[in-house]
Amino acid sequence: MAEEQNRERFQVAYVGDDDNDHSMDVEALAPALLAFGKLIRAANAELNKDRARMKVLVDSEFEHKCFLINFETLQTILDTVKDFLNDEGVKHAADVLQKVGVTAGTAAAGLFGYLRWRNGRKVESAVEVNNSPGSLVIKLEGEGHSLQIGKDVFRLSQNPAVLEAVEGTLAPINDHKEAKGIEFRKDNKLIATYRNEDVKAIAASCEDPGGVDFIEEAEEEPKVVTAVLYSHGPVFDVKAPNWRFLYRRKPIYADIRETNIAKDAVKRGGSFMNDRYKVKMEVTPPNEDRAETHYKVIEVLEFTAGEQQINMKLRARRKPAKKRAASK
C-alpha cells in the first residue's frame, strides 16, 4: 500500500531567570518531552482519525542544546485511504502544528492562544461564521468577549487527551518551577511566548474545558465546492435526475442533470461501483422548506473508472405502450 510522508520542524524553549543557564532538571524535562509527543499525536488523531499517523522526534542536536529543544514530526498518510475517503480531507503535519499553535502566534490561529484567551471562563456559544467556512465565533458567558477561531481549534480544545497533554508540556513551569515561561519557534524565529500569567490561564482552561455540547449553525447560502464523489449503488435509468454517490464517506443523492455523467456512462457501457468523479458541486444547506442538504453537480473536472466488477448497464426510459381499444 502506497504511503505519503511529510516532515515538519518546530522548537520549544523553556525560559528561566538566567539567560546563560541552559540546563533543566531531567525529572521536569523528560515528562514534558513525552507530553509534547502525546499532544501532537492526540491532535493528529482528533483531526485525521485513522487516515494518518504521526511520530514526534527529538532532533540530534538536543544533547548540545539542553534548554532549546528541536522537535521534528513525521506524518505518514496512506495514499489509497486518503484518495478513497476524501481527497481534500487529510490535515497535513503543517496544518496540525498550526492548529495546535506551536507554529502560529496569534490567539485565533492555535490552541495555546485560544486557551490563554479563554482563561478558564465558560463558553456561552460557538456559532459558525457565514462568510468564513470552518470558522466559529466563541462568546464567553457574561463577559461580552468574543473571538473568531477555527472549528478544528475548538475541537482540540474539547478533547480531554489533548488538554491533558497541554498541561504536561507546561509542567516544568507550573509544577517544577524550573522555568518562567515557554516559547515556540520555527526555523529559529520566535513564533509565540507564554509567560507565568499566560501559562496559568492556559492551565485553567485545560482543567475546565467550559465548552458547549453543540455548535450553532448560522443560516448558510448555497456554496460551490470542489468535491470527490464515488458511484454508490446501481443506476439503471439514463434519465434519472439524481445519482447516488459517496461523499466524505457518506451516501448522498446528487442532481446530475446539468452534466454529461449519464451520457458518458452509456458510452462506456455502464456505471460501475466506485467510479470516481472530481466535480464542482453546489451544496445547499437545509432550511425551513427542505429538511436535507441538496447537492447539485455543476461540472465534472476529472473522471477515473472504478474496478469493473459489476456492470450496471443504463437504459433509456421507455414510453408506455398505448392501450388497444376494447373490441366491441
Instruction: Note down pLDDT in tens along the chain; length 328 residues.
Output: 456 788 999 999 888 766 666 678 888 889 999 999 999 999 999 998 878 889 999 875 554 444 678 888 988 876 544 444 444 567 889 999 999 999 976 655 799 999 999 999 999 888 888 777 788 999 998 877 889 999 999 999 999 999 999 999 999 998 888 889 999 999 888 999 999 999 999 999 999 887 776 666 655 678 888 999 998 876 667 788 999 998 887 889 999 999 999 989 888 888 788 889 999 999 988 876 767 889 999 999 999 987 654 445 555 555 555 555 554 4
Examine the domain organization and report whether 193 and 76 are in the same domain: yes
Report the CATH number at residue 265.
2.40.50
Are residues 229 and 169 part of one domain? Answer: no
Residues 185-200 as b or e (16 or more Cβ within 10 Å = b): bbeeeebbebeeebbb
Same domain, 176 and 229: no
pLDDT of residue 9: 92
Whole-prediction pTM: 0.64
Q: In what order do the strands lie in the sheet with 135-140?
A: 123-128, 135-140, 146-150
Same domain, 114 and 240: no
Extract the runs of DSSP E, i.e. beta strands, from 212-293: 223-231, 242-247, 250-255, 276-284
Residue 85: predicted pLDDT? 40
172 and 244 housed in the same domain = no
**In this structure, are 187 and 229 located in the same domain?**
no
Residue 318 placed within a domain: no
Task: Answer yes or no: is 50 within a domain.
Answer: yes
Question: Residue 157: inside a domain, yes or no?
Answer: yes
The residue to which cell 499532544 is assigned:
39
Q: Are residues 254 and 183 in the same domain?
A: no
Number of structural domains the chain divides into: 2
Residue 136, domain member (yes or no): no
Residue 63 inside a domain? The answer is yes
| 315 in any annotated domain | no
User: Do 109 and 254 have their domain in common?
Assistant: no
Q: Nearest CA to 52 among 9, 115, 96, 13?
A: 96
Query: Is the distance from CB of 136 to CB of 190 less than 8 angstroms?
Result: no
Query: What is the three-class DSSP state of 51?
Result: coil
Q: Is position 327 within any domain? A: no
End-to-end CA distance of the chain: 73
Q: Are residues 284 and 158 in the same domain?
A: no
Residue 89: what pLDDT? Answer: 64
pLDDT of residue 175: 86
Q: Assess whether 184 and 276 both reside in one domain.
A: no
139 domain residue, yes or no: no
Residue 204: predicted pLDDT: 94
Where are any strands of DSSP class E within the chain?
A: 3-15, 52-58, 68-78, 123-128, 135-140, 146-150, 181-186, 189-195, 223-231, 242-247, 250-255, 276-284, 294-304
Q: Are residues 160 and 263 in the same domain?
A: no
Q: What is the pLDDT of residue 1?
A: 44
Predicted local distance difference test score (pLDDT) of residue 134: 82
CA distance 295 to 245: 10
Domain residues for 263? 223-304
Helix (H, G, I), strand (E, B) or coil at 196: helix
Residues 293 and 158 in one domain: no
Q: Cell for 217?
A: 449553525
pLDDT at 8: 92
